[in-house]
Every structure is written in structure tokens, then in C-alpha cells.
Amino acid sequence: MFSGGIGSWAAAKRVAEQHGTKDLLLLFADTQMEDEDLYRFLHEAAANIGGELVKIADGRDPWQVFINCRFLGNSRVDPCSRILKRELLRRWLEQNCKPESTTVYLGIDWTEIHRFERAKRYWHPWKVAVPLCEKPYLSKPDMFQLLERAGIEPPRLYKMGFPHNNCGGFCVKAGQAQFRLLLEKMPERYHYHEAREQELRRHLRKNVAILKDRSGGKTTPLTLREFRGRVKAGLNTGNDWGGCGCFL
Ligand code: SF4
């Protein structure tokens, strides 16, 4: 499973070193909302690893999925990654790969080993392996160093400070810190998501929002529009980054 993240490059690199590249497929599911530099990285990383890069897409982006499902994804329920990634990839596996002769490799690293059991259950009957949970353990800086040695420029979102290279720096599972960074580094993109959130609220006729306000002892939806106002007013917006786990 090749996501365009540093972890999936490092994992695929290990697979290539251990097993060769003759039967190696680098399977990428496009959410149609990726950062433009992801595609540059995807192709350079795939050329460096070897194997065949296979790109598939449902055709919708996460906002279109939320409209179709009449539900805004959140940190617990994520129809976007379920439909645009997991189910799409699973269908592709069903059509193209026999479970008895195929291993699904994921870029989970040793700090996320708790996700492995859940991933194994999800991808059954395919065998799942997580090369980055094996020794020698690599930290994220180690992976960036290896990438530099391979002569590949990291995806630009990492350099801007984003923790992952999914959905162009956006994620319904992201916390306030990531949205503050998105507003700071790519205000136009932030405004685009702010407008899509407003559109979905009108469509659903519901007070829903990606972010939550937990002040005053209760939890209420906090729209990207309101959140932008808080950032502009210099209010403390917290340090919650949230977490993305599209393949899990
Ligand atoms: S990165 Fe976030 S918004 Fe994008 S598909 Fe994954 S869970 Fe959904």
C-alpha cells in the first residue's frame, strides 16, 4: 500500500531489498485531493524502489463522499478513507491478487505497532506484513536521512511541518494544530475547505464541523470559519494534531 508518505517509501524499500522487485506492486489510491507535490514524490520514490506503480481512484474526493453519505467524517468514523482507500484497494486486491500468493505490506512503524492487529483483521484473508516494525528500527529522521541519501526531495508538506502527506494537508481526523498550520502555510487551501464545510452544513441542515470546541466543560462543533476567526484574534488554539490512519 503506497500512500506517498515517507513511511510507505521506507517500507517498500525494505520489501524490495528483502524480496526483489519482480512481483512488487506499489498500489496508490488517489483521493483527488492530494498535494501536487505528492505526485512528483510518488513517481521519484517508485523509480527509486523499483516494481510497478499502480494508481487507482474512485473519482470522488472526501467532500463529495461526505455529501453522498450525508455524513461528515470524524476521528472515529471516516467514510472518506473507507470508500476512497480501504474498500477501493480491497476490491482491486480481490480482482487482481490471490490471497495465498500475495502479501499486503503497510507502512506502519514500530511506534504504531498497536495498529497492526486491527490492520491484520481488516485485510484478512491476505497476509499483512509491516517491515518497519522489524529491526533495525527507524525513526522518522532516519527515514528522511535515507531519502536524502537516495537523492529524493521529501514531499513538501513534511517540510512545511505537516505530520503526513495525505489529502494535501487536510484531514477530517486532524486537530486544531494541523488546521492552524494549513491556514498559515496554505490559506487558499484552508479557505477552500472552509467553504466546503459550509456547503456540507447547508446540504445536511445540521450543525456539524470537523473541529470541536471543548472549552467550558462541554463539546460543541467548531467550524473552520469560526476557527479562522479565533486564530486571527490571537486566541490560544491548542496543540492537538489529531491522527490519520487511512489504511487502518
Ligand atoms: S487523510 Fe483524512 S480526510 Fe483524507 S481520506 Fe484519509 S481520513 Fe479522510
pLDDT per position as a tens digit, 195-229:
999 999 999 999 999 999 988 889 999 999 999 99
Find out whether the beta carbon of 210 lies less than 6 Å from any atom of ligand 1. no
- To test the ligand 1 pocket, which listed residue (74, 246, 247, 248) has its Cβ within 8 A of the most ligand atoms? 246
Residues 140 and 55 in one domain: yes
Residues 148 and 182 in one domain: no
Residues 99 and 174 in one domain: no
Please determine, for residue 248, whether its predicted confidence score (pLDDT) is greater than 70: no
Tell me which amino acid residue 109 is.
Answer: D
- Of all residues in the chain, what percent carry a pLDDT higher than 70? 98
Residues 133 and 35 in one domain: yes
Residues 193 and 210 in one domain: yes
Half-sphere exposure of 153 (CA within 13 A, CB side): 10
Find out whether the beta carbon of 178 lies less than 6 Å from any atom of ligand 1. no
The single residue listed with the C-alpha cell 521506507 is 10
**pTM tops 0.85:** yes
* Maximum CA extent, the chain: 58
Instruction: Please give the distance, rounded to the nearest whole angstrom, from the Cα atom of residue 157 to the centre of ligand 1.
Output: 15
CATH code, domain carrying 74:
3.40.50.620
Per-residue pLDDT, averaged over 152-165, amounts to 95
Gap between the Cα atoms of 128 and 248, Å rounded:
12
Residues 113 and 226 in one domain: no
Please determine, for residue 184, whether its predicted confidence score (pLDDT) is greater than 70: yes
Question: How many structural domains are present in the chain?
Answer: 2
Domain extent at residue 212: 167-232
pLDDT per position as a tens digit, 103-152:
999 999 998 888 899 999 999 999 999 999 999 999 999 999 999 999 99
**CA-wise closest residue to 156 among 56, 13, 6:** 6
Instruction: Please give the distance, rounded to the nearest whole angstrom, from the Cα atom of residue 178 to the centre of ligand 1.
Output: 13
Find out whether the beta carbon of 3 lies less than 6 Å from any atom of ligand 1. no
